[in-house]
Structure 1
């Protein structure tokens, strides 16, 4: 039934967008993050004010651009966002294909940036990064390519740094308690047990409180 029938509300994905179609959208490239200034408001151009049915592809595109303006996202995350707005699957696929074609959606760039940022800022291991990429809908091949940038030497250095910082707040505790807590901390960040225990043993051996007189 067309939207011109005043008794029929527009679909949820159209209502959610509000007046975004008449105001334009901020377009953010995941490569350049350059903003495109919104178009001036045009009440005369809003199809709802003229009793016309809004084009579903336009509405879907506005929703996606809003999501990308908030933060970079994978195609899977954007598709899920459209599903929550009750956007038809065929419309979502067409819009996402188009935006992917012009470079506004790029899972490879997203994955590479995510790995670099999260390893540096949070000290996450390659295994933890792989899990997080998978949760964001990045396919296995794309994730594997991005994870090739993970430096195992840097990964071990980060584990040592994490242990050293945590040890400073655990002074006076028994070595067994310290070991258990440090191992749990590294496990939450995705470090394997072999690397974790080696780094922990070395750190405890060097700690003044555990050195023999």
Structure 2
């Protein structure tokens, strides 16, 4: 909304700021009040940008902090926005970790090692990471390799292992876990349907 002053100056602020300040026609504003309105408006605009950033997918607190830092947000405003987002439940590292692990396990199965690394890169605490990692790496390894194993149905044991073991290890599965999944898939592929 546009605010006109008696001096002929005008400036714009968001509707939220107008409502928060209780502005109405004919109200007299001091210089300090005008500066306060402009500061509140800057805060609201940055907050709106962060909401847009969060609209694509959930984010960790660290990702939001990095985003705001890249936008050259002053530290006191950055802290204020992060606290507000936490209060409103819009950033929650524990919920983010659950989302990330669930998404990865569903669409692109990965081992605990790779998931742990991804979550660390997202800035999550080790305790949050450990409590949200999947417990059954064997099933994840099996699911990750099943499609590739079907393409190798005609391969011999050596080729089957040479292709699948490194594939699973690149996805963060431990050697023993990958070996177990490959053996299970080999056995299943050799049984008559």
Q: Is this a same-fold pair by TM over 0.5?
A: yes
Indicate which of 156, 162, 168 corresponds to 1:180: 162
Q: How does 1:126-145 map to 2 (within 5 A)?
A: 126-145=112-131
1:100 and 2:96 are equivalent in the alignment: no
Deviations 1:147-203 (A, max 9, x none): 2xx232xx3123223333212112443432321210121112211001111222343
Tell whether the 8 Å contact from 2:110 to 2:144 is kept in structure 1 after alignment. no
Counterpart CA distance in 2 for 1:158 and 1:182 is 14
Q: Do the aligned partners of 1:179 and 1:200 also contact (CA within 8 Å) in 2? A: yes
Per the alignment, residue 195 of structure 1 pairs with 177
CA-atom RMSD in angstroms: 2.9
CA shift, 1:120, in A, is 2.6
Give 2:140's match in structure 1, choosing from 142, 158, 165. Answer: 158
Deviations 1:23-47 (A, max 9, x none): 77xxxxxxxxxxxxxxxxxxxxxxx
Tell whether the 8 Å contact from 2:60 to 2:91 is kept in structure 1 after alignment. Answer: yes
Unaligned runs of 5+ in 1: 1-18, 25-49
- Structure 2, unaligned stretches of length 5 or more? 1-11, 17-33
Superposition deviation, residue 92 in structure 1: 0.5
Mean Cα displacement is larger for which, 197-206 or 73-82? 197-206
Tell me if structure 2 keeps the 8 A contact 1:60–1:92: no
Structure 2: how far apart are the matches of 1:23 and 1:95? Answer: 18
Residue 106 (structure 1) shift: 0.9
Q: Tell me the secondary structure at the aligned position of residue 70 of structure 1.
A: coil
The TM-score normalised by the length of structure 2 is 0.71
Mapping 1:1-213, distance limit 5 Å: 22=14, 53-55=38-40, 56-147=42-133, 150-152=134-136, 155-208=137-190
Instruction: Say if 1:66 and 1:162 are closer, same or farther in 2 by CA, change over 3 A.
Output: closer
Measure the CA separation in 1 of the matches of 2:51 and 2:145. Answer: 41
* Distance in 2 of aligned mates of 1:207 and 1:70: 40
Equivalent residue, structure 2, for 1:40 = none
CA contact (8 A) 2:153 2:189 kept: no
Distance 2:70 2:106 in 1: 33
TM-score, normalised to structure 1, is: 0.65
Residue correspondences, number:
163
